[in-house]
Structure 1
Amino acid sequence: MTARLDSELLPDWVTWLRAPNAGPMTLDGTNTWLLDDGTVIDPGPDDLAHLEAIIEAGPVRRILFTHGHPDHVDGIMTLLALTGASVGEVPDWLTELPTPGHTTDSVCFVAERDGQRVVFTGDTILGRGSSVVAWPDGDVGAYLASLDVLAGYEVPGLPGHGPVLPDCAAAARWLRDHRLERLDQVRAALKQGARTPEDVVNVVYADVDPGIRFAAEWTVRAQLAYLETLSEL
């Protein structure tokens, strides 16, 4: 069942709904954000109960999404059929920021009204933990640059999964440091004799949940591709 959540960090013009699709890759489930002008950000999976909860909390006039992964967009066609909303029309008070890295098409949205400002971060910054750089579509260099952009927003971050972030900028800086630390670990693994992405995963992500080992391998492949651009391989 869809959860409707409250947070003291949310402006009064934002409603937070969480889809019932919890899992290793989606944390507690996909966060859907509904703005009081009828804008829906990341409708989530094609789950009728969740989509009906969005409509009940509505109105629903336009639909935006932070990137094209199924857990964020599979519900769009059904929501369109139920509401007649439009897709992709960004309201004037909401700025779209290209933030590639997790995926090529990843974007964030900055909204400001009534003296309140927030950033909808999608999967570029999660509410907890770190995002997968989803090779071959994801790109470590682009991700680091996107984190540099988001480090300029010292406002709450409203992520695609997990709890609201008190400070988007602080989360971006932490993630950037974390990514650089992981790159150092990959370099060390290569020096120790790792030859394949699987070898690197065994060293750098030895404690990863077996259920998401494939995601760790995606990230390692993206890390190796990035290091190759630096002529380090």
Structure 2
Amino acid sequence: MSETSALPGRPMPRAVDGPATERATCVLAPNPSLMTLEGTNTWILAEPDAELAVVVDPGPVDEAHLRRVVETVERAGRRVALTLLTHGHADHAGGAARFAELTGTPVRALDPALRLGDEGLGAGDVITTGGLELRVVPTPGHTADSLSFQIVADAAVLTGDTVLGRGTTVVAHPDGRLGDYLDSLRRLRSLTVDDGVHTVLPGHGPVLRDAQGAVDYYLVHRANRLAQVETAVENGYRTPTEIVAHVYADVDRAVWPAAELSVRAQLDYLREHGLV
């Protein structure tokens, strides 16, 4: 869920639809919008010679897309063994129940309401399917239930909406919290330093080959926006709507409602820290 549609001064690569790393293939959902960029990235993960695959974020309720994901897996001589969700927003998880029907697979998620099967997901979990190793990384902030998945062998991380392939993401107040989001960005940055993660496989937009640079950009962007909101309040702007019009004047008005969610989260953060 995008809050802005572009990274200023950066090139504009397009979202991938096909192989992205040795173990990750994207099937792009046909739900483009200002909020979803080219659409939702559904990820198929598997070891090169394995018969079992993991699907992350089946996407919206779109029968043709869900069947295309299944067909992509089957053309590679595999079957879906497990479905994972990065978070519960409908553009990522809306089609999960139908996808489970098509594949006969359990759905694992942090939120119990989204699970189909006995197992959930939690911090520190390691998922091994068909020899593939995925580490569950808690990354709340965009939503309370947001998770990322580290593909150890590819030095890559699937970030859902926590880091997008283009633009910046929404802190979806009131479920999303800025303090949590900043902690999550720092957690992702530590993966780039400590674990050598260099590739971001986002929930929307193109693959990012400089994971550390992307996370650093997000951290700087959030610090700058927070400072702008704080200054706006000091200058007499009071309501989230007024602050959005002032601080996000350079952003397409169509995404101002999403930006207002982030502003509300920023105001909560500033109040919690006694800054406004």
**Distance in 2 separating the partners of 1:98 and 1:150:** 9
Q: Which runs of 5+ in 2 are unaligned?
A: 1-14, 47-51, 74-78, 109-118, 120-125
Q: Secondary structure at the residue paired with 1:66?
A: coil
Letter matched to residue 27 of structure 1? L
Q: Does 1:232 align with 2:272?
A: no
Tell me by how many angstroms 1:11 deviates.
Answer: 2.3
| Structure-2 residue corresponding to 1:62 | 82
**Distance in 1 separating the partners of 2:166 and 2:29:** 17
**Distance in 1 separating the partners of 2:231 and 2:68:** 49
**Is the CA contact (8 Å cut-off) linking 2:18 and 2:27 kept in structure 1?**
no
Q: Which runs of 5+ in 1 are unaligned?
A: none
**Distance in 2 separating the partners of 1:188 and 1:4:** 39
| Structure-1 residue corresponding to 2:221 | 178
Q: Secondary structure at the residue paired with 2:237?
A: coil
| Structure-2 residue corresponding to 1:112 | 152
**Distance in 2 separating the partners of 1:77 and 1:107:** 19
Tell me by how many angstroms 1:219 deviates.
Answer: 0.5
Q: Does 1:97 align with 2:160?
A: no
**Is the CA contact (8 Å cut-off) linking 1:15 and 1:35 kept in structure 2?**
yes
Tell me by how many angstroms 1:4 deviates.
Answer: 7.1
Residue by residue, what CA displacement relative to the aligned partner does 1:203-223 show, whole Å, maximum 9, x if unpaired?
Answer: 101233232211111010000
**Distance in 1 separating the partners of 2:228 and 2:253:** 20
Tell me the matched-pair count.
227
Tell me by how many angstroms 1:62 deviates.
Answer: 0.7
Higher relative contact order by CA 8 Å / sep ≥ 6: 1 or 2? 2
**Is the CA contact (8 Å cut-off) linking 1:205 and 1:216 kept in structure 2?**
yes
**Is the CA contact (8 Å cut-off) linking 1:151 and 1:170 kept in structure 2?**
no
2:22 to 12, 20, 45: 12
Letter matched to residue 37 of structure 2? L
Q: Secondary structure at the residue paired with 2:136?
A: strand
Letter matched to residue 32 of structure 2? A
**Distance in 1 separating the partners of 2:202 and 2:103:** 25
Letter matched to residue 92 of structure 2? H
| Structure-2 residue corresponding to 1:73 | 93
**Distance in 1 separating the partners of 2:32 and 2:68:** 17
| Structure-2 residue corresponding to 1:34 | 44
Tell me by how many angstroms 1:198 deviates.
Answer: 1.0
Q: Percent identity?
A: 48
Letter matched to residue 31 of structure 1? N
Question: What does 1:133-148 align with in structure 2 at a 5 Å threshold?
Answer: 133-148=171-186
Q: Which portions of structure 1, spanning 4 or more consecutive aligned residues, are displaced by more than 6 angstroms?
A: none
Q: Does 1:25 align with 2:61?
A: no
**Distance in 1 separating the partners of 2:29 and 2:102:** 18
Residue by residue, what CA displacement relative to the aligned partner does 1:26-71 show, whole Å, maximum 9, x if unpaired?
Answer: 0000000001231000100111111011100112111001010000
TM-score by length of structure 2 reads: 0.79
Letter matched to residue 28 of structure 1? E
| Structure-1 residue corresponding to 2:123 | none
